[in-house]
Chains A and B, each alone.
Chain A
Amino acid sequence: MKLRIFYKLGMRAVAGLASIVLSLTAFAADPLKVGFVYVSPIGDAGWTYQHDQGRLEMEKRLGDKVQTKYIESVPEGGESERVIRQFATDGYGLIFTTSFGYMNPTIKVAKQFPNVVFEHATGYKTAKNVGTYVARFYEGRYLAGIVAGKMTKSNVAGYVAAFPIPEVLRGINAFTLGMRSVNPAVTVKVIWVNSWFDPGREREAADVLIAQGADVVTHHTDSTAVVQAAEEAGVWSVGYHSDMSKYGPKSHLTAATHHWGNYYAKVAEDVLAGTWKSSNIWWGIKEGMIKLAPLNPAVPAEVQAYVMEQEMGIKDGAVHPFRGPIKNQDGEEVVAAGAVLSDEELATMEWYVEGVEGKLPK
């Protein structure tokens, strides 16, 4: 290992000396410069990793028509405004800001740079040159819930969640509805760790849920700790953001995974062609922004087939995770039979469906 590091350093040193010589840069045709602002380090799995995969896919598809750059670990709030603006002043024509907290800074910078196109993930404010995009994560959650509902024996599932915001609540509710659609006896326990990213706490929360009888656990946090905890305890797990089967070869049932590359490539093409228009994109399984990771071989074939069928149903609109009748925790019917929740109702969701255990923090 030592040798490898020295070799690497050596090679880099050679390259460094070479770059001094070659610092007169060649001029090329003007590609579209695309900037990405990431909220955490890229890592190997999780939210930012999937966005970076999207960036790479866009690069691959558009080749030298685009030139991309990213800045990772940009804190939300006041700090991000500078980074976004820096991209704009450096001649970037398209800037993706990939976390909710970048919303107001993105809008502010966009006002000063009307000729630059901004795309903000998961927000709700748009402008003439600011579009928003988000995925229907809940569709993947619903399908994963079906798998979990079929596999649980104890009829208790555990959910490690970060913060009680609508996006996370949609996921909890869709997962619960998915489980109960095939197994009405199921309850889902939720623990809030109040952090997107603290593997130790995520691990502790997973251990607690398992001790409380959950034999399938999932998470809406950023690390793989929950899947690893399940693997060790010998219970099932459902990953999120990325396919996490590597971290739980036996336990990992499936995962609701995010795929931004298609959208990123399309936006870049539109900007290049001059046809880009501000819009509010909400893509799901149909458009391939959400996919279910390959199912664990332990999942029986008929369950696999059923999940496939439901997936097709979501694609052609026959199945909607939030189609009534849906009751809330108090047993009141909140969605009438046959009705579906509107996008606005989904976007602002702040209640639990029946079957989620515990009160929503008020």
Chain B
Amino acid sequence: MDTIVGILLATLGAGTPLVFAALGELVSEKSGVLNLGVEGMMIVGAVCGFAVAAESGSLWLGVITSIVAGAGTALLFGVLTLTFQANQVAAGLALTIFGVGLSAYIGLDYTSVALTGMAQIHIPLLSELPIVGPLLFSLDPLLYLSFVCFAAITYFLYRTKAGLLLRAVGESPESALSLGYSVIAIRYMAVLFGGAMAGLGGAYLALVYTPLWVEAMTAGRGWIALALVVFATWRPARVMIGAYLFGGVTIIQFHVQGFGVDIPSQLLSTLPYLATIVVLVLISRDINTIRLNAPASLGKAYHPSV
């Protein structure tokens, strides 16, 4: 029983950076903007948050900095693709390359810093419960925040007028415009939000999960987050499931190794990626699921006069 709780807890931890980044990207894509720079925004968020936490001694100041830094990096992307009409795929890739390099440079002075991560918050009484107690009621604060973000984003997208507008912009910018809304302004906000969430994902890695800074520490998680959005057919609940599934497969293949199974570990390591492909295939097999859910204008540059 302890082992199972252990696996589930580890899965939550492994999935959470993905949850933040993928939920942010989902909002950005819902507005019609495909930002492939998640990895870059995440890692800039991670290093800035870590640097500020190390200088100020306040983890929360670090978290806020990560959010701002992620959004700041996304602003660069926004200016390029929304104002300067650049190709979104190219700009996103450029953002990743830039972010990884920049973060390594900013982080030079901080590789030697040891931080104590965030302590768990034990909710009185509830955390005493068997199984669900440790799993749901004695987690670190950012994990709770990821649940809050999920609920808030779901509510925003499907229950508020602003959310409807955001989705309308992603579906048909022309019709949103004809209603008198600024497509560019709405997309800017969505992109900035996506960046802020990616930054938060970076903060989780650098301030909570492995409280340290090393170059390239996001190690491809931004790309996985991108895959999760498609995987989830642009639905927040499925993003959560996907993130924990990916985290879970990683954890389980480690468990399988720990119990000693006669399969080369390199081949086991491919499992999370293969699993993602398989699920992607299953989901996209029915062309209608994608067509119904994918924002119609996703990835297309939009200029008001074109």
Contacts and interface: CB of A to CB of B under 8 A. Distances in A.
A295 B104 CA distance: 33
Interface residues of B, number: 47
Contact of A43 (B14, B56, B214, B265): B214
Given A199-B217, A358-B257, A208 B6 contact: yes
B10 A197 contact: no
B210 A208 contact: no
B56 A1 contact: yes
Contacts of A85: none
A173 B253 CA distance: 23
A191 B215 CA distance: 23
B209 interface: yes
B7 A225 contact: no
Interface in A188-239: 189-195, 197-205, 207-212, 223-225, 228-229, 232
A280 to B, nearest CB: 30
B2 interface: yes
Contacts of A73: 215
Interface string B1-16: 0110111011001100
B205 interface: yes
Contact of A191 (B2, B9, B112, B254): B254
Interface string B89-126: 00000000000000010000001111001000000000
A194 B253 CA distance: 12
A44 interface: yes
Contacts of B255: 208, 211-212
Contacts of A200: 14, 17, 205, 209-210, 217-219, 221
Contacts of B56: 1
Interface string A225-267: 1001100100000000000001100000000000000000000
B264 interface: yes
Contacts of A158: 258
A246 B114 contact: yes
Q: Which of B5, B104, B263, B264 has the most CB of A within 10 A?
A: B264
Interface of A: 1, 4, 41-44, 73, 158, 164, 189-195, 197-205, 207-212, 223-225, 228-229, 232, 246-247, 357-359, 361-362
Interface of B: 2-3, 5-7, 9-10, 13-14, 17, 51-52, 55-56, 104, 111-114, 117, 205, 209-212, 214-219, 221, 250-251, 254-255, 257-266, 269
